[in-house]
Structure 1
Amino acid sequence: MEAKMEKKRPIIIGVTGGSGSGKTTVAHAIFDQLHGNSIQIITQDTYYNDQSEMTMAERKAVNYDHPLAFDTALLVQQLDQLRHNQAIEMPVYDYEQYTRSAETVHVEPQDVIILEGILILDDERLRDLMDIKVFVDTDSDLRIIRRIKRDMQERGRSLDSVINQYLATVKPMYHQFIEPTKRYADIIVPEGGQNQVAIDLLATKVRDILVKRGHQV
């Protein structure tokens, strides 16, 4: 009887791609398709390093597209806790202060966890925790246009600052660290959130896994 009552291990889906690729749209589209199930989205950006001991000038100079900008050890630890059906206190990142907030968010384990971020396939420890790995592959021209619109409208950045950051760090880091992780993906989704066929197939696959593991879908 006890074995039957044991809670099933969550399914972890990793969704990655370059900045502006549409990975967030894909993650939320899968979330919407599985509405009614126990599901949670976790964003890698939440796990940027705590930089409270740095000056504001030092914080702004950090390369936020480099793997070392993230507290990956904490992300691995908390994802593993969720995998073992343990609740976590997820960090909160303050974009205005370029460092971690003092607040945390209490997150209960769910049947499906979607991990979304630019470098989630770069670290083997994270890859080993995922059941499905997705790479959203979008043309670079479209990615920079989306990034310009997002950063200017949502983050108050100037056009020059967005372009300068893209040329200095975003583009070279994409080619050095993000694009090479495409080889680890189980599924490559062209054109991000516009690819409804791929999103439908992913949602169907997740439902199938849930059913096989005894989840009610």
Structure 2
Amino acid sequence: MTENCANPYVIAISGASGSGKSLFTANLVAMLPPNADVIVIQEDRYYRAQDDKPMAARVITNYDHPNAFEHDLLKAHLLALRSGKNVDYPEYCYTTHTRKPATSVLPPAKIIIVEGIMVLAAPELKDAFDLTLFVDTPLDICLLRRTLRDIQERGRTIECVAEQYQATVKPMYHAFIEPNKTIADMVITQGGENQAALHVVAHHVQSLLR
């Protein structure tokens, strides 16, 4: 862990879909001072724009493969943030399966947290992070969480979720996500509520902010 925070310190949080990455990130940020100079970047925002494709083609895209993301753009944004520049943070629509026209301004910060399923699998981002975390949660729990989320938040049917899980989610996890456990600086069990891991990482971040 690098202790020099003269430049922005970038933390990657990866793991399977439904593993608790977002919850761990939210809990970590909540443990920091209210005015902490921290921003969170969600890899999901960098799904590729598919405006040039008909809806039938968008629906069958493998969203659990690294190629579904525009990691070059994410890398460019991290480089810009490191140099003290604002970036145009994209937004993604899960109903139309493409980017929204509008973006939001994301300012630079001392601590940058990047969370997503493929952030450790992307060659473009290999040297982008100062600290890498892998949230390791049993796949049956991940499936249950993903099913609830996709039905409640993204308007999917249980049949659609199950079919996608068998066709792409599970095989892509074993091919691209699970191997990152061996390269992560810290493997976090028990999902986003692991208090011991949260306190360790929060203490480290607070020392960097000081």
Give, in whole Å, the separation in 1 of the partners of 2:179 and 2:150.
25
State the aligned residue count.
205
1:127 CA drift (Å): 3.2
1:194 CA drift (Å): 2.0
1:209 CA drift (Å): 2.5
Give, in whole Å, the separation in 1 of the partners of 2:52 and 2:192.
38
SS in 1 for 2:90: strand
* 1:25 aligned residue: 23
Q: Which amino acid aligns with 1:12?
A: V
* 2:12 aligned residue: 14
CA contact (8 A) 1:9 1:85 kept: no
Give, in whole Å, the separation in 1 of the partners of 2:165 and 2:124.
28
SS in 2 for 1:102: coil
Q: Deviations over 1:53-101 (max 9, x none)?
A: 0000000010000011011100000011101111101111111110011
Structure 2 unaligned runs (5+)? Answer: none
SS in 1 for 2:36: coil
CA contact (8 A) 2:11 2:130 kept: yes
Q: Percent identity?
A: 41
Structure 1 unaligned runs (5+)? Answer: 1-6, 212-217
CA contact (8 A) 2:36 2:209 kept: no
Q: Deviations over 1:6-63 (max 9, x none)?
A: x932111100000010011011111111232111110001000011000000000100
CA contact (8 A) 1:14 1:120 kept: yes
* 1:4 aligned residue: none
CA contact (8 A) 1:17 1:117 kept: yes
* 1:183 aligned residue: 182
CA contact (8 A) 1:20 1:147 kept: yes
Matched, 1:198 2:197: yes
Give, in whole Å, the separation in 1 of the partners of 2:74 and 2:207.
27
Give, in whole Å, the separation in 1 of the partners of 2:124 and 2:130.
13
Q: Deviations over 1:132-188 (max 9, x none)?
A: 100000011111111111111111111111111100000000000000111220010
Q: Which amino acid aligns with 2:137?
A: T
Q: Which stretch of the first structure deviates more once superposed, 57-66 or 149-158?
A: 149-158
Matches within 5 A, 1:92-107: 92-107=91-106
Matches within 5 A, 1:102-141: 102-141=101-140
RMSD: 1.2
Give, in whole Å, the separation in 1 of the partners of 2:185 and 2:209.
18
* 2:172 aligned residue: 173
SS in 2 for 1:106: strand
Give, in whole Å, the separation in 2 of the partners of 1:30 and 1:124.
26
Give, in whole Å, the separation in 2 of the partners of 1:91 and 1:166.
26
Give, in whole Å, the separation in 2 of the partners of 1:196 and 1:127.
28
* 1:91 aligned residue: 90
Larger radius of gyration: 1
CA contact (8 A) 2:71 2:124 kept: no
* 2:67 aligned residue: 68
